[in-house]
């Protein structure tokens, strides 16, 4: 069965590593994530955005990822099915009905009090179903699916507001804005590690880094040491898919069998996912996490 995000992230946060959350839109991406997770023995998160659910159908994606979970579970690798950037109540309800084990309510576009009120409502609903909740405070610049935030709209997470937000809402994890961004970065990301350290000291729960694609390895490791327990990867997976398909077609212009075209794309995506699992420190953790979950059951 899918584990909750809270279960996996708490273990990662306590032990100084991060869980990779990999966005999937179709069978090929899910298979690539599964392949990497089993090979690396790494607990992980299947992540589905509302626009991905709209594109593929939320029940189709749930079924595909459930098959993936069956394979990883048989190999002793725990995983989560998580809704990424749920923007409204109906997004969350749809995910809960479909069988997701973790949801994100993104009220970051709202004023603080509205964000608190919306998040509290979602926490109450999800926790009744034994589903963990991620929320966001502060806004990330950039574009991801249907979310577009300009430099002018972006704002970093205030540590004191983060403390209050966590205390009032009861969320299980908090996505923070510390200079990270969705999509490819223009130049080297400038992450505010002092801010992250301050948030970690007062929040008291696992923190989440969105926009993980393109952040230098040394910055990823430092962020993990300062409380980041979940890192989202989407853009690099999409880029690997494009690279695999384009390279194959260029070398084999007369082949139109989608199975042959997709295979190198899946290989490229699996390489990216595996490299992130090693970087995040989750590789080789499957057995200890599975055992800890058994003891806690």
Which residues, including other chains, have CB under 8 Å from residue 10's CB and lie 6 or more apart?
Answer: 206, 229
Residue 72 belongs to a domain with what CATH number?
3.20.20.70
Q: Which two tokens stand for residue 98?
A: 């479909």
Share of the chain above pLDDT 70, in %: 93
Averaged pLDDT, 19-27:
97
C-alpha R_g of the chain: 18
In this predicted model, what pLDDT tens digit does every residue of 60-71 receive, in sequence order? 999 999 999 999
Averaged pLDDT, 20-32:
98
**Known catalytic residues?**
84
pLDDT reported for residue 186: 72
In this predicted model, what pLDDT tens digit does every residue of 69-116 receive, in sequence order? 999 999 999 999 999 999 999 999 999 999 999 999 999 999 999 999
Three-state SS string over 124-162 comes to: HHHHHCCCEEEEEECECEEEECCEEECCCCCECCCHHHH
pLDDT reported for residue 184: 64
Averaged pLDDT, 24-39:
98
Q: Which two tokens stand for residue 289?
A: 């996490």
Q: How confident is the model at residue 36 (pLDDT cuts 50, 70, 90)?
A: very high
Instruction: Measure the CA–CA gap between 74 and 1, rounded to whole angstroms.
Output: 10
In this predicted model, what pLDDT tens digit does every residue of 153-173 receive, in sequence order? 458 899 999 999 999 999 999
In this predicted model, what pLDDT tens digit does every residue of 195-248 receive, in sequence order? 999 999 999 999 999 998 889 999 999 999 999 999 999 999 999 999 999 999
pTM: 0.93
Averaged pLDDT, 289-297:
90
pLDDT reported for residue 185: 66
Boundaries of domain holding 115: 5-296
Sequence-separated contacts (24+) of 123-129 with Cβ below 8 Å: 123/169, 123/170, 123/171, 125/92, 125/93, 125/96, 126/92, 126/96, 127/170, 129/96
Q: What's the number of domains the chain is made of? A: 1
Q: How confident is the model at residue 147 (pLDDT cuts 50, 70, 90)?
A: very low
Better-predicted residue by pLDDT, 152 or 268: 268
Q: How confident is the model at residue 152 (pLDDT cuts 50, 70, 90)?
A: very low
B/e letters for 175-204, b = 16+ CB within 10 Å, e = fewer, are: bbbbbbbbbebeeeeebbeebbebbbeebe
Q: How would you class 253 by CB atoms within 10 Å of its CB: exposed for 0-12, middle for 13-18, buried for 19 or more?
A: exposed
Q: How confident is the model at residue 296 (pLDDT cuts 50, 70, 90)?
A: confident
């Amino acid at each position: 069965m899918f584990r909750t995000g809270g279960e996996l992230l708490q273990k990662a946060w306590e032990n100084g590593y991060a869980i990779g959350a990999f966005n999937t839109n179709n069978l090929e991406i899910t298979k690539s994530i599964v392949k990497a997770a089993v090979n690396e023995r790494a607990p992980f998160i299947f992540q589905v955005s509302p626009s991905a659910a709209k594109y593929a159908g939320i029940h189709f994606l749930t079924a595909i990822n459930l098959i993936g979970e069956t394979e990883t579970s048989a190999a002793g690798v725990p995983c989560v099915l998580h809704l990424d950037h749920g923007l409204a109540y109906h997004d969350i309800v749809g995910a809960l009905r479909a069988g997701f084990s973790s949801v994100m309510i993104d009220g970051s576009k709202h004023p603080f009090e509205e964000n608190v009120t919306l998040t509290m409502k979602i926490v109450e609903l999800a926790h009744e179903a034994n589903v963990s909740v991620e929320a966001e405070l502060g806004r990330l610049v950039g574009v991801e699916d249907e979310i577009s935030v300009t430099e002018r709209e972006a704002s970093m997470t205030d540590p004191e507001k983060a403390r209050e937000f966590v205390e009032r809402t009861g969320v299980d994890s908090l996505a923070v804005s510390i200079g990270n961004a969705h999509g490819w970065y223009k130049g080297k990301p400038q992450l505010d590690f002092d801010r992250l350290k301050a948030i970690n000291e007062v929040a008291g729960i696992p923190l989440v880094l969105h926009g993980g694609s393109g952040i230098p390895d040394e910055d990823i490791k430092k962020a993990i040491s300062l409380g980041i327990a979940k890192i989202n990867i989407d853009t690099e997976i999409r880029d690997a898919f494009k690279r695999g398909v384009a390279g194959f077609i260029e070398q084999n212009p007369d082949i139109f069998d989608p199975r042959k075209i997709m295979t190198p794309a899946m290989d490229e995506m699996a390489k990216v996912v595996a490299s992130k699992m090693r970087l995040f420190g989750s590789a080789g953790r499957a057995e200890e996490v599975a055992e800890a979950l058994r003891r806690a059951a």
